[in-house]
């Protein structure tokens, strides 16, 4: 493996099959979703840090649906990295039937704050 390339960690995770049908998640996202469900009282940032172990520096497509605020992984990100809105608020106001102008504005905020913090914390590309 070259010095500039990192391999994603593989974690055995049981995630309901309907997640796979709707999203193509990275292993770390599936791990975070599973950990959040199995340890609901654990601090969200600890869950995310544990799921991201070994995934630092990987490349992610920021337009992927599994990174959206209302997705299961987006809910983990919101709980761990956002202080302005709750995960439930993100889920409610970032998708229909919420106003389209509001949704567009929130998605800009999502990319500029939550996804930027996610990328910086784990050195993602």
Peptide bond into 97 cis (omega under 30): yes
pTM over 0.75: yes
Which has more confidence, 109 or 24?
109
Query: Residue range 83-102: average pLDDT?
Result: 94
Calculate the CA 38 to chain-centre distance.
Answer: 17
Query: Residue range 87-99: average pLDDT?
Result: 94
Q: What is the DSSP letter of 2?
A: -
At 16-73, the pLDDT tens digits run: 444 433 445 789 999 999 999 999 999 999 999 999 999 888 889 988 999 999 999 9
pLDDT of the residue at 24: 56
Q: What is the DSSP string of 3-71?
A: TT--PPP-------HHHHHH----HHHHHHHHHHHH-TTS-HHHHHHHHHTT-TT----TT-GGGSTTS
At 9-26, the pLDDT tens digits run: 434 334 444 443 344 578
């Amino acid at each position: 493996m070259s010095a500039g390339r990192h391999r994603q960690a593989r974690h055995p995770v049981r995630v309901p099959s309907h997640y796979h049908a709707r999203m193509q998640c990275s292993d770390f996202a599936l791990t975070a979703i599973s950990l959040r469900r199995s340890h609901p009282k654990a601090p969200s940032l600890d869950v995310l840090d544990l799921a991201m172990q070994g995934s630092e520096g990987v490349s992610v497509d920021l337009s992927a649906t599994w990174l959206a605020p209302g997705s299961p992984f987006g809910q983990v990100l919101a709980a761990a990295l956002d202080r302005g809105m709750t995960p439930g608020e993100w889920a409610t106001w970032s998708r229909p039937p919420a106003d389209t102008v509001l949704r567009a504005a929130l998605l800009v905020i999502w990319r500029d704050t939550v996804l930027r913090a996610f990328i910086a914390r784990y050195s993602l590309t």
